[in-house]
Structure 1
Amino acid sequence: MPTLAAIYRYPVKSTAAEALGTARVQQEGLAHDRRFMVVKPNGAFVTARRYPVLQTITARFDGNRLTLVHDDQVAVAESVAQFERQRFETGVWADDFAAWTTTLRLDAWVSRIIGEPVHLLWLGEQSPRFRDTLGVRVSFADGYPLLLTSEASLADLNARTDGTHVMAQFRPNVVVSNTEAFAEDGWTRIRIGEVVFRVDAPCSRCVMITVDPACGERRDDGEPMRTLLGYRKGTDNQVYFGQNLVAENEGEIRIGQTVEVLD
């Protein structure tokens, strides 16, 4: 049976993954997942596509306190109670909405790593970003609340390339084992623990997958995008790897649970 092999969340958009044993699934995605985002002074969002060094930041957030760690900086931590909470206009792709400022200390800390002035925004207790096309609120994620990948699909990719790629390059929330390669492409609804998920659409990939998460630098050889272009390109010329999920209810999931394919 397909099994939940790993759970990851990213408290700050584009930073390193936090591995979990259990997680609470909410409408916006995993609890505390992508509830913070780096933006430029004009509100434009900043990601590891252009600033791959973001992936070398480790973030932890428990709902009350955010901690940021980086090898080149003294760790910084601030509580939600310390946030300035000034309304700040921003957006993700075509979605425009307002988030909240955190602290000047956090802004300065991230700015030193990025190498230019930026702000670190907080989504708030509840996301103000409602996506009509999905019928749910979404975090600072690119477009969907959650992303699923499978170990077999990654193994299939690695069998076709000279190098070895890791799951962190694809930034999933849930990873499934005990399947055939790309079996997830044929799923439309699944259940993990207490939660039923709609498998809404395949995930189109970008230059982000060429970033080595261990060092925060983009690979010179263009892999694994070059290999995926050879066998995972759709009729729209987009490269697909993984499936976007929308939770139909809230609940808890944990590693080792069966992934039941409903449809």
Structure 2
Amino acid sequence: MTTSSLRLSALYRYPLKSCAGEALERAQVHQEGIVGDRRLMLARPDGRFITARTHPRLELMQVRLGERTVVLRFPGHQDIELVRADFALAPFATEVWGDRFEALTTSQEADAWCSEVLGEAVQLLCIGERSPRYRQSIDQRVGFADGYPLLLIGQGSLADLNARLAHSQGTSEGKPHIMAQFRPNLVVAGSDAFAEDGWQRLRIGEVELGVAEPCSRCAMITVDPATGTFLPGKEPLKTLATYRRGEKGKVLFGQNLVVLKEGRLALGDEVEILA
């Protein structure tokens, strides 16, 4: 089934879990997701991972991946450039949402810089060329992402949410919520609100994707990416909860994807719904 009106309108990766998104024009996608996506993560000394759910200021951290270097930036702090060849790459026991595995250490310099930014002791971990984290439920390896290689959201779904918020507030002058709050990898334009709920398999560029399950949302979508602080009134989670609750009571927005065929994709690519 070809739907030529559907296009890939935005493409993002998040090199470090919970950091600011990096807008891309094109990307290589492999089974673990977009190359470079969530290959770094911060963890406490005991291995517990850290995200913007408890440390919203993390969304102000920008990470730029080079072929040989990684550059970290944070407001009010001097940039730090890390040389990949200098990473210690020592096994470090950690976990992500119950998945226990061994990540790799980077450097004392990186740990000290990140600890200073967050105001507590943390370690900067990397996942390595091939993730050691295997998720049996999807029969795939995944990096430091919450649970799936990719997240897709339709632009029409966000427009619907903002329209409902404006209606409930009795004004169209309120500040609309932005896609960055929901941290997708892929944004599709041209579809009706929540059309992605009915998709099972799709092709974008060279990449074929399977829809695994809806994405359940939490307080993280209430973080303002521009300030690294929580928005007032628990919005937009509060409004989404009035009409986007699933059977188990979770608030659903966006679709988690698995990669069926690796390849390249780019902004403007046609999105073809295969099933």
- TM bucket, shorter chain: over 0.9
Shift, 1:64, TM fit: 2.8
Alignment of 1:100 onto 2:112: no
SS at match of 1:248: strand
> Is residue 178 from structure 1 mapped to residue 178 from structure 2 by the alignment?
no
- Equivalent position of 1:223 in the other structure: 235
- 1:29 is aligned to 33
1:113 alignment partner in structure 2: 117
**Higher mean C-alpha displacement, 159-168 vs 120-129:** 159-168
Select which of 159, 162, 185 maps to 2:163.
159
State the match for 2:225 in structure 1.
Answer: 213
Distance in 2 separating the partners of 1:62 and 1:34:
15
Give 3-state SS (helix, strand or coil) of 2:261's partner. coil
**Which letter maps to 1:217?**
T
Structure-1 separation of matches of 2:160 and 2:64? 32
Mapped contact 1:123–1:140 kept (Cα < 8 A): yes
Report what 1:249 is aligned to.
261
Q: Secondary structure at the match of 1:180?
A: coil
Partner of 1:188: 200
> Structure 1 residue 139: deviation in Å?
0.6
TM-score computed with the length of structure 2 as normaliser: 0.94
Q: CA deviation at 1:63?
A: 4.5
Equivalent residue runs for 1:43-192 within 5 Å:
43-162=47-166, 163-192=175-204
Higher mean alpha-carbon deviation, 154-163 vs 220-229, is at 154-163
Distance 1:64 1:171 in 2: 26
Residue type of the alignment partner of 2:205: G
Larger CA deviation: 77-86 vs 8-17 = 77-86
Partner SS state of residue 231, structure 1: coil
Distance in 2, matches of 1:113 and 1:79, equals 19
Distance in 1 of aligned mates of 2:163 and 2:184: 20
> Matched residues in 2 for 1:55 and 1:184: separation?
26
C-alpha distance in structure 2 between counterparts of 1:64 and 1:11, whole Å: 14
The residue type paired with residue 173 of structure 1 is N
* TM-score between both structures, scaled by the size of structure 1: 0.98
For each residue in 1:158-216, what CA deviation from the matched residue of structure 2 results, as whole angstroms up to 9, or x when unmatched?
A: 01114410000000000000010000000000000101000110000010000000000
Secondary structure of 1:158's aligned partner: helix
Contact 1:5 1:175 in 2 (8 A): yes
May I ask how many residue pairs the two structures share in their alignment? 263
| Contact 1:32–1:62 (8 Å) recurs in 2 | no
Aligned to 2:162, the other structure's residue is in SS state helix
User: Does 1:238 pair with 2:250?
Assistant: yes
